[in-house]
């Protein structure tokens, strides 16, 4: 099972993934993605969902029109692990590919 990252390791990893920050009050990371419209936002979610399912690692997220608020944490570990970092990085890549 993936282990929780130390505060230092988490900070260092976040420094290399644009837009992702620590969530206040819990051991999790988050980012709000803003797309051109709903079509793009949902396209992003669809692609990200397929990757998440393949990884067996699932986001907490909320969509309102063209924004997607994402929170990542490894529930089994009670905090941020390398799986969250990997999914965050992948989501940034997917967002780039999705945006027109």
CB of 40 or CB of 72, closer to ligand H2B: 72
Least distance CB 59 / ligand H2B (angstroms): 7
Q: Measured between alpha carbons, how far is 94 from 100 in angstroms, rounded to an integer?
A: 12
What is the three-class DSSP state of 10?
A: helix
Least distance CB 39 / ligand H2B (angstroms): 26
CB of 40 or CB of 48, closer to ligand H2B: 48
Residue 52 DSSP one-character state? H
List residues near ligand H2B by CB under 6 A: 56-58, 74-76
The residue of the chain with the least Cβ separation from ligand H2B equals 76
Instruction: Check if the beta carbon of residue 42 is closer than 8 Å to that of residue 66.
Output: no
CB of 54 or CB of 96, closer to ligand H2B: 54
CB of 40 or CB of 84, closer to ligand H2B: 84
Least distance CB 74 / ligand H2B (angstroms): 5
């Amino acid at each position: 099972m993936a282990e929780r990252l130390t505060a230092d390791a988490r900070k260092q990893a976040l420094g290399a993934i644009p837009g992702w920050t620590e969530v206040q009050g819990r051991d999790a990371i988050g980012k709000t993605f803003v797309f051109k419209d709903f079509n793009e936002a949902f396209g992003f979610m669809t692609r990200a969902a397929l990757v998440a399912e393949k990884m067996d690692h699932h986001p907490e997220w909320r969509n309102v029109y063209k924004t997607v608020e994402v929170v990542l944490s490894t529930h089994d570990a009670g905090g941020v692990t390398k799986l969250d970092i990997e999914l965050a990085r992948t989501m940034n890549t997917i967002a780039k590919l999705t945006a027109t």
